[in-house]
A and B are shown apart, each in its own frame.
Chain A
Amino acid sequence: MKRFGVAWMLCVLASAGAVAHAAEVVRIGSKNFNESYILSEIAAQLLEAEGFAVERKFGLGGTLICYQALRNGEIDLYVEYTGTLSQAILELPGNPDRDALNERLAPQALELLQPYGFNNTYAIAVREADAARDGLNTIGDLAGMADLQMVFSHEFLERDDGWPGLRAVYGLQGEVRGIEHALAYQAMSEGAIDVTDAYSTDGELKRYALRVLEDDRGYFPSYFAAPLVRSSVPVEIRQPLAKLAGRIDNELMQNLNADVVFGGKSFAEVASAFLTGIGVHTIPVTNSMWRDLTRNTLRHLQLTGIALGLAVAVGLGLSLLVYRSGLWSNGVIYVCGLLQTIPSIALLALMIPLFGIGMTPAIVALFLYSLLPILRNAVTALTNVDPTLVKVSLALGLTQREQLRYVLVPLSLPAIFAGIRTAAVISIGTATLAAFIGAGGLGDPIVVGLSLDDVDMILQGAIPAAGLAILTELGFGGVERWLVRRR
């Protein structure tokens, strides 16, 4: 009984600690590939264990979206790589260290915290068995091995920091060929090729028993991962994150990646297991497919519903304003048509500087996408009502407003409705891309599934999205038939 009482006291204390920071919500972003999900999930669970409420904005569509979101204050932190910062964002030459990077980040009110330890850079990999047999330890050791089949990813063969420089620095000889990166590991394991490029923390290195040759001449830029935070992030949040500094080496990161890719574990499970290993007691995460499905579907409906509602209001309003003038209607339809030609993912990205990430930019983008079918159908329908009926309604003494209300709009309704129906179906499809800018919805499992190459997970988003589109199509179709019957 006494022991039970002590345990109870500890629980109370722990939960008191847990609520201490609950008022502050830490918004954590991640890019849309495995390692980024894992590292962000580790940071999220760590902060949750410290009592912070965490909002996960995972699966953002790439470096620039994450970086923009951070600068705009849409997220408080995400995990970035030193090489990506220096090359893709800050455009600094060479291999600048953390201090040099922070010097450049400070004016942007950003700061790179201490790295986790591993270096996820390009690596040259050979089979462990071959390495042992031929005594291959460094990239330079390849120089004398003319009979090895060297096959690299197409990107690696082209990049300045890829094969051309590597060949020169290490004096490598022999013929090289190109291969899809996704196929390279399989080809290595089957013995079809002997040397390929990899990322040094890929889980596949472990799975296929490959050895990474040491880059002893420091050719490849360093890609040390570290939390990139806004300078305004308070010390209470930085302190727990500091526990992660230097705690994950290349091998451990390979293991964590492999646990997800080959072990079938969720990001949350892998993160939790890692944190438990370094003595952090995480709050257990329960995964429920149905709960996720419901949440994603509701969010999806919310995104498309709001966007469609706005598009109907604005589209119909605009069409009523312009339908009498050929010039204006053509102009407005032309502009909406132009919007439609912007690829949806680009339109979503364009929204970020204006509206940040999350639901708002997604809704605005979906709204703009839905506008054309609604507007075009409405204007076409209103201007194509039988001219005799229009003339008769005028001759009977109907005002323009009455003519619209009693003749033009009722007669145009089926076509107007068809436009709304098209817009709804387009919206439901396009909204799956909104996951790339942190808006959630049924795109979430698709984005995660794509990064994991996990078809089941992709289908968890794709099937309900397709189902919603079909239901919408059928529902609107029914209403349309009813309208036509009434006519």
Chain B
Amino acid sequence: MSACVEFEHIYKSFGSSAVLEDVTVNAPEGCTTAIVGASGSGKTTLLQLVNGVLRADAGSVRVFGAAVPSEEVEKFRRGIGYAVQGAALFPHMTGRENVTLVANLQGWTAQASEERLLELLAEMGLEEDVADRLPRELSGGQQQRLGLCRALMLRPQLLLLDEPFSAVDPITRGDIYECFRQVKVREGVSSLLVTHDLREARLLAEHLIIIHQGRVLQHGNTVQVLDNPATDYVRSLVSSQLS
């Protein structure tokens, strides 16, 4: 299976504290890879190296075989969807404006934008009138679904998800999981999902990377990793979250 993202000997520090140390790992194409770790493990940093929001001190990141460019990085980023915890919708824009902003900047016609918007709203189980409201007029779940619509708008090949489901209540979360599973198949998108929740990883990801204190402890097929923890840390993680 070819990789959508390849990390090779990645080092990254902020000031004097090392966040990632010699990380070499791949995320396979066509599936969801969960990066699981505790707070401060370096998982979000690893994710932000993929779209060039952060740069590695050493090592290389390749996305579909190509290095993250240093020029015209915006164009590169538009090929990668991005959604975060709490959705982070722009508060001064309606749902429609949030989702279609970059498509309009890309020069999409109004009609093409609107058609894609309606398609995504339907896929994410949102009513059309959500598009006309400001974020503060929407529930947390609606905001989160809109955040995913925004990430998917330009039909990216790769989706970066930074704990996008953690800020909603458990019932809504279950609904969104279901939506996401259907959408990723329909859209044919590869995903990197950062989470601290192994249950979420087991539910959504076919591939798993366990990261701890800036180092990859174990990676591979989700079921295999969960069934055969390679270190004490992974074993305790699995037993504490899944037993």
A residues with CB within 8 A of B? 386, 388-389, 391-399, 402, 406-407, 410-411, 486-487
Are B101 and A396 in touch, CB under 8 angstroms? yes
Are B90 and A389 in touch, CB under 8 angstroms? yes
- Nearest chain-B residue to A394 (Cβ)? B53
Our pick among A396, A410, A411, A487 for the contact of B82 (Cβ within 8 Å) is A396
- Decide if B84 is an interface residue (CB 8 Å cutoff): yes
CB contact under 8 A between A397 and B88, given known A391-B53, A392-B82: no
Our pick among A386, A402, A410, A487 for the contact of B105 (Cβ within 8 Å) is A402
Q: Which residues of B contact A486 (CB under 8 A)?
A: 92
Are B160 and A407 in touch, CB under 8 angstroms? no
- 24 A–B contact pairs at CB < 8 A? A388-B88, A391-B48, A391-B53, A392-B82, A392-B84, A392-B88, A393-B90, A395-B51, A395-B77, A395-B82, A395-B160, A396-B77, A396-B78, A396-B101, A397-B74, A397-B75, A397-B77, A397-B102, A406-B90, A407-B90, A411-B90, A411-B92, A487-B91, A487-B92
B191 to chain A, nearest CB (A): 14
> How long is the Cα–Cα vector from A395 to B82 in the complex, in angstroms?
6
- Decide if B86 is an interface residue (CB 8 Å cutoff): yes
> How long is the Cα–Cα vector from A403 to B102 in the complex, in angstroms?
11
- Decide if B150 is an interface residue (CB 8 Å cutoff): yes
Are A395 and B53 in touch, CB under 8 angstroms? yes
CB contact under 8 A between A398 and B82, given known A388-B88, A406-B101, A487-B91: no
Q: Which residues of B contact A388 (CB under 8 A)?
A: 84, 86, 88
B89 to chain A, nearest CB (A): 9
Q: Which residues of A contact B80 (CB under 8 A)?
A: 395
Are B77 and A411 in touch, CB under 8 angstroms? no
Are B91 and A411 in touch, CB under 8 angstroms? yes
B186 to chain A, nearest CB (A): 21
B242 to chain A, nearest CB (A): 30
Q: Which residues of A contact B53 (CB under 8 A)?
A: 391, 394-395
B140 to chain A, nearest CB (A): 15
8 closest cross-chain pairs (CB), A and B: A397-B78, A397-B77, A395-B82, A397-B74, A392-B88, A388-B88, A487-B92, A410-B92
> CB within 8 Å of A: which of B59-100?
74-78, 80, 82, 84, 86, 88, 90-92
Q: Which residues of A contact B150 (CB under 8 A)?
A: 396
- Nearest chain-A residue to B78 (Cβ)? A397
> How long is the Cα–Cα vector from A410 to B101 in the complex, in angstroms?
14
Q: Which residues of A contact B78 (CB under 8 A)?
A: 396-397
Q: What is the interface size of chain B, counting residues whose CB is below 8 A from a CB of the partner?
A: 21
Are A398 and B105 in touch, CB under 8 angstroms? yes
Q: Which residues of A contact B88 (CB under 8 A)?
A: 386, 388-389, 391-392
- Nearest chain-A residue to B77 (Cβ)? A397
Q: Quick one: which of A399, A402, A406 has the most chain B CB within 10 A?
A: A406
Interface of A: prevailing SS: helix
Q: Which residues of A contact B105 (CB under 8 A)?
A: 398, 402
- Nearest chain-A residue to B154 (Cβ)? A397
> CB within 8 Å of A: which of B109-168?
150, 160
> How long is the Cα–Cα vector from A398 to B105 in the complex, in angstroms?
9
> How long is the Cα–Cα vector from A393 to B102 in the complex, in angstroms?
9
- Nearest chain-B residue to A391 (Cβ)? B53
> How long is the Cα–Cα vector from A309 to B202 in the complex, in angstroms?
60
A385 to chain B, nearest CB (A): 10
CB contact under 8 A between A396 and B86, given known A410-B92, A486-B92, A487-B91: no
B163 to chain A, nearest CB (A): 12
- Nearest chain-B residue to A405 (Cβ)? B105
> How long is the Cα–Cα vector from A486 to B134 in the complex, in angstroms?
9
- Nearest chain-B residue to A392 (Cβ)? B88
Are A398 and B92 in touch, CB under 8 angstroms? no
Q: Which residues of B contact A392 (CB under 8 A)?
A: 82, 84, 88
- Nearest chain-A residue to B79 (Cβ)? A397
Are A396 and B84 in touch, CB under 8 angstroms? no
> How long is the Cα–Cα vector from A386 to B91 in the complex, in angstroms?
11
Q: Which residues of B contact A396 (CB under 8 A)?
A: 77-78, 82, 101-102, 150
- Nearest chain-B residue to A483 (Cβ)? B92
A373 to chain B, nearest CB (A): 23
Q: Which residues of A contact B90 (CB under 8 A)?
A: 389, 393, 406-407, 411
> How long is the Cα–Cα vector from A389 to B147 in the complex, in angstroms?
12
- Nearest chain-A residue to B104 (Cβ)? A406
Q: Which residues of B contact A397 (CB under 8 A)?
A: 74-78, 102
Q: Which residues of B contact A386 (CB under 8 A)?
A: 88
Are A399 and B86 in touch, CB under 8 angstroms? no
B115 to chain A, nearest CB (A): 20
> How long is the Cα–Cα vector from A37 to B199 in the complex, in angstroms?
88
CB contact under 8 A between A398 and B74, given known A406-B101, A411-B91, A487-B91: yes
> How long is the Cα–Cα vector from A402 to B82 in the complex, in angstroms?
17
B62 to chain A, nearest CB (A): 18
> How long is the Cα–Cα vector from A389 to B93 in the complex, in angstroms?
12
> How long is the Cα–Cα vector from A392 to B161 in the complex, in angstroms?
11
> How long is the Cα–Cα vector from A396 to B76 in the complex, in angstroms?
10
> CB within 8 Å of A: which of B149-205?
150, 160
Apart from A395-B80, A397-B76, what 8 extra A-B contacts exist at CB < 8 Å?
A: A389-B88, A389-B90, A395-B53, A395-B77, A398-B102, A402-B105, A406-B101, A411-B90
Q: Which residues of B contact A389 (CB under 8 A)?
A: 88, 90-91
Q: Which residues of B contact A406 (CB under 8 A)?
A: 90, 101
Q: Which residues of A contact B82 (CB under 8 A)?
A: 392, 395-396
> How long is the Cα–Cα vector from A388 to B147 in the complex, in angstroms?
13
Q: Which residues of B contact A411 (CB under 8 A)?
A: 90-92
Q: Which residues of A contact B160 (CB under 8 A)?
A: 395
> How long is the Cα–Cα vector from A338 to B150 in the complex, in angstroms?
46
- Nearest chain-B residue to A389 (Cβ)? B88
Q: Which residues of A contact B101 (CB under 8 A)?
A: 396, 398, 406
> How long is the Cα–Cα vector from A388 to B74 in the complex, in angstroms?
17
Q: Which residues of A contact B92 (CB under 8 A)?
A: 410-411, 486-487
> How long is the Cα–Cα vector from A391 to B53 in the complex, in angstroms?
8
> How long is the Cα–Cα vector from A391 to B84 in the complex, in angstroms?
10
- Nearest chain-B residue to A486 (Cβ)? B92
> How long is the Cα–Cα vector from A40 to B91 in the complex, in angstroms?
62
> How long is the Cα–Cα vector from A396 to B82 in the complex, in angstroms?
6
